[in-house]
Homo-oligomer: A and B are copies of this chain.
Amino acid sequence: MKLRRVVGFLIIAALFVPLGRAAAHKGGSAEEARRAIEATNAKYGDAVQKGDAAAIVALYTKDAILLPDDGEMIRSSPAKIEEFWKASFKAGVKAAKLETLDVERMGDVAVETGRFAMTIQPEGKEATTAKGKYVVVWKREGDSWKLHRDIWNSDPAAK
Protein backbone atom coordinates (compact mmCIF):
# COMPACT_ATOMS: atom_id res chain seq x y z
CA MET A 1 0.00 0.00 0.00
CA LYS A 2 2.70 2.46 0.99
CA LEU A 3 4.67 1.65 -2.14
CA ARG A 4 1.62 2.31 -4.31
CA ARG A 5 1.21 5.71 -2.72
CA VAL A 6 4.84 6.54 -3.35
CA VAL A 7 4.59 5.40 -6.97
CA GLY A 8 1.36 7.38 -7.41
CA PHE A 9 3.02 10.44 -5.98
CA LEU A 10 6.02 10.10 -8.29
CA ILE A 11 3.77 9.79 -11.35
CA ILE A 12 1.81 12.89 -10.43
CA ALA A 13 4.98 14.76 -9.50
CA ALA A 14 6.46 13.89 -12.89
CA LEU A 15 3.54 15.76 -14.48
CA PHE A 16 4.95 18.88 -12.82
CA VAL A 17 8.23 18.63 -14.70
CA PRO A 18 6.80 20.04 -17.94
CA LEU A 19 5.10 22.74 -15.85
CA GLY A 20 8.50 23.63 -14.47
CA ARG A 21 9.90 23.87 -17.95
CA ALA A 22 7.06 26.14 -19.01
CA ALA A 23 7.85 28.33 -16.01
CA ALA A 24 11.38 28.78 -17.31
CA HIS A 25 9.88 30.59 -20.29
CA LYS A 26 7.54 32.71 -18.19
CA GLY A 27 7.58 36.45 -18.60
CA GLY A 28 6.67 36.71 -22.23
CA SER A 29 6.49 35.67 -25.78
CA ALA A 30 8.80 36.07 -28.75
CA GLU A 31 6.47 38.86 -29.87
CA GLU A 32 7.10 40.71 -26.62
CA ALA A 33 10.86 40.33 -27.01
CA ARG A 34 10.61 41.56 -30.59
CA ARG A 35 8.78 44.70 -29.53
CA ALA A 36 11.40 45.43 -26.85
CA ILE A 37 14.21 44.79 -29.35
CA GLU A 38 12.69 47.08 -31.97
CA ALA A 39 12.24 49.80 -29.35
CA THR A 40 15.89 49.46 -28.30
CA ASN A 41 16.99 49.52 -31.94
CA ALA A 42 15.11 52.82 -32.33
CA LYS A 43 17.03 54.17 -29.31
CA TYR A 44 20.25 52.91 -30.92
CA GLY A 45 19.40 54.82 -34.11
CA ASP A 46 18.65 57.99 -32.12
CA ALA A 47 21.96 57.73 -30.25
CA VAL A 48 23.87 57.34 -33.54
CA GLN A 49 22.11 60.39 -34.97
CA LYS A 50 23.07 62.39 -31.87
CA GLY A 51 26.62 61.07 -31.90
CA ASP A 52 26.10 59.85 -28.33
CA ALA A 53 28.54 56.95 -27.82
CA ALA A 54 27.79 56.65 -24.08
CA ALA A 55 24.08 56.13 -24.77
CA ILE A 56 24.95 53.32 -27.18
CA VAL A 57 27.23 51.62 -24.63
CA ALA A 58 24.34 51.58 -22.13
CA LEU A 59 22.38 49.35 -24.52
CA TYR A 60 24.98 46.54 -24.27
CA THR A 61 25.58 44.02 -21.49
CA LYS A 62 28.80 44.50 -19.53
CA ASP A 63 30.27 41.31 -21.03
CA ALA A 64 29.05 41.95 -24.58
CA ILE A 65 31.15 40.96 -27.57
CA LEU A 66 31.16 43.36 -30.52
CA LEU A 67 32.50 42.05 -33.84
CA PRO A 68 32.77 45.01 -36.22
CA ASP A 69 33.09 44.31 -39.92
CA ASP A 70 36.71 44.92 -40.96
CA GLY A 71 37.50 45.76 -37.33
CA GLU A 72 38.96 44.22 -34.18
CA MET A 73 36.76 42.11 -31.93
CA ILE A 74 35.84 43.85 -28.65
CA ARG A 75 35.20 41.57 -25.65
CA SER A 76 33.71 42.64 -22.32
CA SER A 77 34.88 46.23 -22.56
CA PRO A 78 32.26 48.99 -22.44
CA ALA A 79 35.12 51.53 -22.70
CA LYS A 80 36.25 50.03 -25.99
CA ILE A 81 32.70 49.97 -27.38
CA GLU A 82 32.50 53.68 -26.57
CA GLU A 83 35.86 54.24 -28.25
CA PHE A 84 34.68 52.32 -31.32
CA TRP A 85 31.63 54.53 -31.69
CA LYS A 86 33.56 57.75 -31.07
CA ALA A 87 35.96 56.71 -33.86
CA SER A 88 32.97 55.89 -36.12
CA PHE A 89 31.47 59.34 -35.54
CA LYS A 90 34.85 60.91 -36.33
CA ALA A 91 34.96 58.87 -39.54
CA GLY A 92 31.63 60.41 -40.54
CA VAL A 93 28.92 57.93 -39.42
CA LYS A 94 25.74 60.03 -39.27
CA ALA A 95 22.87 57.54 -39.11
CA ALA A 96 22.08 53.86 -38.71
CA LYS A 97 18.76 52.38 -39.75
CA LEU A 98 18.09 48.93 -38.31
CA GLU A 99 15.41 46.63 -39.67
CA THR A 100 14.49 43.51 -37.70
CA LEU A 101 13.70 40.52 -39.92
CA ASP A 102 13.53 37.68 -37.45
CA VAL A 103 13.50 37.21 -33.67
CA GLU A 104 13.76 33.82 -32.01
CA ARG A 105 13.40 33.73 -28.25
CA MET A 106 14.58 31.14 -25.74
CA GLY A 107 13.71 32.33 -22.23
CA ASP A 108 15.92 35.29 -21.36
CA VAL A 109 17.82 35.16 -24.62
CA ALA A 110 16.65 36.24 -28.06
CA VAL A 111 18.42 36.03 -31.39
CA GLU A 112 17.68 38.78 -33.90
CA THR A 113 18.54 38.77 -37.58
CA GLY A 114 18.25 42.01 -39.48
CA ARG A 115 19.42 44.47 -42.10
CA PHE A 116 21.07 47.83 -41.64
CA ALA A 117 21.74 50.93 -43.70
CA MET A 118 24.44 53.25 -42.41
CA THR A 119 24.94 56.79 -43.66
CA ILE A 120 28.54 57.92 -43.72
CA GLN A 121 29.63 61.43 -44.62
CA PRO A 122 33.23 62.31 -43.87
CA GLU A 123 34.00 66.03 -43.46
CA GLY A 124 33.67 67.83 -46.81
CA LYS A 125 32.63 64.71 -48.75
CA GLU A 126 29.46 63.29 -50.24
CA ALA A 127 27.30 61.04 -48.06
CA THR A 128 27.35 57.33 -48.89
CA THR A 129 25.20 54.49 -47.58
CA ALA A 130 26.71 51.19 -46.45
CA LYS A 131 24.22 48.34 -46.44
CA GLY A 132 24.50 45.01 -44.73
CA LYS A 133 23.04 42.47 -42.38
CA TYR A 134 23.54 41.49 -38.77
CA VAL A 135 22.90 39.01 -36.00
CA VAL A 136 22.40 40.29 -32.46
CA VAL A 137 22.05 37.98 -29.48
CA TRP A 138 19.98 39.81 -26.86
CA LYS A 139 19.92 39.07 -23.15
CA ARG A 140 17.18 40.12 -20.77
CA GLU A 141 18.53 41.89 -17.69
CA GLY A 142 15.68 42.72 -15.34
CA ASP A 143 13.12 44.56 -17.46
CA SER A 144 15.37 45.46 -20.34
CA TRP A 145 16.81 43.54 -23.27
CA LYS A 146 20.46 44.29 -23.97
CA LEU A 147 22.80 43.55 -26.86
CA HIS A 148 25.07 40.70 -25.82
CA ARG A 149 26.63 39.63 -29.12
CA ASP A 150 26.67 42.00 -32.07
CA ILE A 151 28.11 41.16 -35.47
CA TRP A 152 27.45 42.51 -38.95
CA ASN A 153 28.81 42.28 -42.46
CA SER A 154 28.33 43.82 -45.90
CA ASP A 155 25.87 43.05 -48.63
CA PRO A 156 27.40 42.03 -51.94
CA ALA A 157 28.89 45.02 -53.74
CA ALA A 158 26.45 46.60 -56.22
CA LYS A 159 27.48 45.91 -59.77
Contacts and interface: CB of A to CB of B under 8 A. Distances in A.
Interface of A: 9, 12-14, 16-21, 23-24, 65, 67-73, 75, 102, 106-109, 111, 113, 115, 133-135, 137, 148-149, 151-157
A135 B149 contact: yes
A153 to B, nearest CB: 4
A67 B135 contact: yes
B16 A20 contact: yes
Nearest to A115: B73
Contacts of A148: 111
Contact of A21 (B24, B68, B152, B154): B24
Contact of A106 (B68, B106, B152): B106
Contact of A137 (B20, B71, B75, B135): B135
Contacts of A73: 113, 115, 133
Contacts of A106: 106-109
A46 to B, nearest CB: 25
A12 B113 CA distance: 42
- The list of the 6 closest CB pairs from A to B, nearest first, reads A20-B20, A17-B20, A153-B153, A69-B153, A16-B16, A135-B151
